[in-house]
Amino acid sequence: MPDTKKFIENLSGAGKCIGVLTSGGDAQGMNAAVRAVVRMGIYVGAKVYFIHEGYQGMVDGGDNIKEASWESVSSMLQVGGTVIGSARCKDFRTHEGRLRAALNLVQRGITNLCVIGGDGSLTGANLFREEWSGLLDELVQSGEISEEASQIHSALHIVGMVGSIDNDFCGTDMTIGTDSALHRIIEVVDAIMTTAQSHQRTFVLEVMGRHCGYLALVSALACGADWVLIPEMPPKDGWEEQMCYKLSENRADKKRLNIIIVAEGAIDQSNKPITTELIKDLVVRCLGFDTRVTILGHVQRGGTPSAFDRILASRMGVEAVLALLEASPGTPACVVSLCGNQAVRVPLMECVQMTQEVQKAMDEKRFEEAVRLRGRSFENNLNTYKLLSHRKIDSELPHSSFNVAVLNVGAPAAGMNAAVRSAVRVGITEGHTMFAVSDGFEGFYKGQIKEIKWGDVGGWTGQGGSLLGTKRTLPAKHIDKIAEQMRIHNINALLVIGGFEAFESLLQLVDARSRYEEFCVPMCMLPATISNNVSGTDLSIGADTSLNAIVETCDRIKQSASGTKRRVFIIETMGGYCGYLATVGGLAAGADAAYIYEEPFDIRELQSNVEHLTEKMKTSIQRGLVLRNENCSENYTTDFIYQLYNEEGKGVFDCRKNVLGHMQQGGAPSPFDRNFGTKIAAKAMQWISKKLKEFYREGRVFANTEDSACLLGMRRRALVFQPVIQLKDETDFVHRIPKEQWWLRLRPLMKILAKYKTSYDVSDSGQLEHIVRLRAKDISAI
């Protein structure tokens, strides 16, 4: 059978010219996308041009369109906004303006455009593409270009990337800038919570989102807000009394503050705007609470891009260049988008049409339809919020008489508390009695098990570490006592949140089922570890927070060298034997190299890295960044690499080393980890409820099938429950890592963006998918 793999080496950009522009509202991460397009374009042999000031620069031409060099995008990665400028352009909306733009492009031989912007910018690009041959005919007739030039440049190829903090574009789970905007909102909410708590205040926060409530919805999920108002879900008539009742109920429950989050486009059932002032007046009038309003405004657009946005934008930028290289005259304009954890290409106009349909549905008050059209990510966020937000009175709750225990196992990871809170509240809503186990399996065998109520987990989402307490102890040693505690407390199901130890623990409990009936109950594990080293999942709770800590530190370290010439930093990251943090952190921080256990290296590679850095120091970029995973090699230690670089770089550069250590484990969880933890815990509890009903026979729960002990993980595009027994074969237990890891495919990206010649398998790219098919297939995903 012939090998159908495609490699980057076989794709050539020689003779091609690519123009890159940012248009519309700015978003953090746009620079990372521009950098990736420029470097990938140059790497494949194409010429790349900056088009400054968006479409305005394209229309005005002249110095606005400049050839980019490798060095010209250095130090852009950590800068918010867009360095090449963006403008809203009236001229481009006129035929005359587009004619001038076409002339400017043809004069420079540019027939490939990479547009980074919102739906307006992308729609404009598509119209330009459709008119292209007509515009060229006009230019030939007016004698501004020759017939020959018109033939050579007869087709215009367009690839879009969506840069918009609102995440208001259909066809992608996340747009560039959304995660960073959530970081800004959560930083503000966390800060406001401390002052609100001091004075027992109610805060009404307005976040951006004129037509889309994504930011409001996810930030409400991520901070456990009391109430959220978004354009896609106008509150039912009488919502004012309902909201005030909920706020006063929370106060009665010893909660000292209330947070209400409002999207700027929030409306009621009759399409009338709901403003922050209206809500403030309502709360003061009905409850007499001390209430303050905070409008976040353009703070949300500012600041440095988060690790997620840098990686997303870098992946998208590289994919966009591949799409342009593979485009033929008949290829429709496409958008590079994110589906689960996979980069896909979707026809641009399908996305634009669906985005416009959402607005139409909202204008016609078909709100449920609007939510469905927004896509699976939005829909599931909304469903999770509904599950968690409304505390039912005991008489309304279904009574299940099942007891479910939740515990943390292994090292602490940011986001564990959000997962526990979500599990407890969804469990209570499902009618179960929830039990919290302190200190993992160590607390379990000692009997540190107590019932945990709705109010006990209030305010947990924003807390780092593990409030339940966590230990690395495995159950095998104390299996008798744990079985006894299961019996004493009549535990009918287990939810274990943790890393590799949690995975091993579940395997041990499954193994013990033949000897102890107590373990014949549904068990579910949620992966929570900064190392992201558990089989069965692409992402783990805590890894995003850790990446952000690494990237923030690397930014500072790089900046510390801005005054001194020629310096290389060697930075050691955590992760055990798993190179996820070093690799993905390296991609997000713009590292020159990342040494990991999974990709063995020898002295020759170290030597070539030193030579590469020596060459780099001759250019205008006079600093280097090298990441090393703590266990990547027994002999090539951080000290060894530091000393080698120091010796070999003598007279060219000097070295500094940093061991990041436990700062990678601490800190408040990032919005992504809060949201991911909240969503997967809610999904796990619903699965547990289903399994409890399924395995309830003759007055007791008895579950000993493989599929009654599962790990819930994110696999490419969907959240999947996988029996832990089946994951055993996928795991290297000696080094505590999965045998196959998706992120190794990102390593060539890091190398290409650091100017190394490398092999890059691009077989995954290139399929244009249709947006409708995408939805039907992935309805059960996040």
* Cβ partners under 8 Å of residue 10, min gap 6: none
In angstroms, the CA 654 to CA 623 distance is 9
In angstroms, the CA 281 to CA 287 distance is 10
* Cβ partners under 8 Å of residue 308, min gap 6: 174, 179, 180, 544, 547, 670, 672
In angstroms, the CA 782 to CA 772 distance is 17
In angstroms, the CA 131 to CA 97 distance is 12
In angstroms, the CA 358 to CA 347 distance is 17
Output the six-digit token pair for 751: 């190398």
In angstroms, the CA 558 to CA 563 distance is 10
Output the six-digit token pair for 290: 């001390």
Q: Report strand pairing: 342-347 vs 334-339.
A: antiparallel
3-class secondary structure per residue, 51-85: ECCHHHHHHHCHHHEEECCCHHHCCCCCCCCCCCC
Buried b (16+ CB within 10 A) or exposed e, 439-454: bbbbbbbeebbeebeb
Burial degree of 317 (CB within 10 A; 0-12, 13-18, 19+): buried
178, 214 Cβ separation under 8 angstroms? yes
Ranges of H-type helices in 491-623 = 500-511, 543-560, 580-589, 603-616
Output the six-digit token pair for 87: 């403008």
* Cβ partners under 8 Å of residue 422, min gap 6: 384, 388, 677, 678, 679, 681, 682, 685
In angstroms, the CA 95 to CA 101 distance is 10
Catalytic site residue 555?
A: no
Judged by DSSP in three states, 536 sits in: coil
In angstroms, the CA 193 to CA 290 distance is 14
* Cβ partners under 8 Å of residue 445, min gap 6: 475, 478, 481, 482, 485
Q: Report strand pairing: 433-437 vs 449-451.
A: antiparallel
Element (H, E) at 625: strand 623-629
Cα-based distances in Å from 425 to 257, 390, 393, 408, 474: 19, 10, 13, 17, 27
Which one is catalytic: 166, 226, 439, 778? Answer: 166
* Cβ partners under 8 Å of residue 429, min gap 6: 387, 392, 397
∠ Cα 397 402 407 (to 5°): 105
The full length of the chain comes to 782
User: Whose CA is closest to 54, among 24, 98, 91?
Assistant: 24
* Cβ partners under 8 Å of residue 1, min gap 6: none
Burial degree of 692 (CB within 10 A; 0-12, 13-18, 19+): buried
Looking from the CA of 265 toward its CB, the CA atoms found within 13 Å total 17
* Cβ partners under 8 Å of residue 628, min gap 6: 570, 571, 572, 573, 582, 594, 595, 638, 641
For the chain, the 3-state helix, strand and coil shares in percent, each to the nearest 5, are 45, 20, 35
The set of catalytic residues is 166
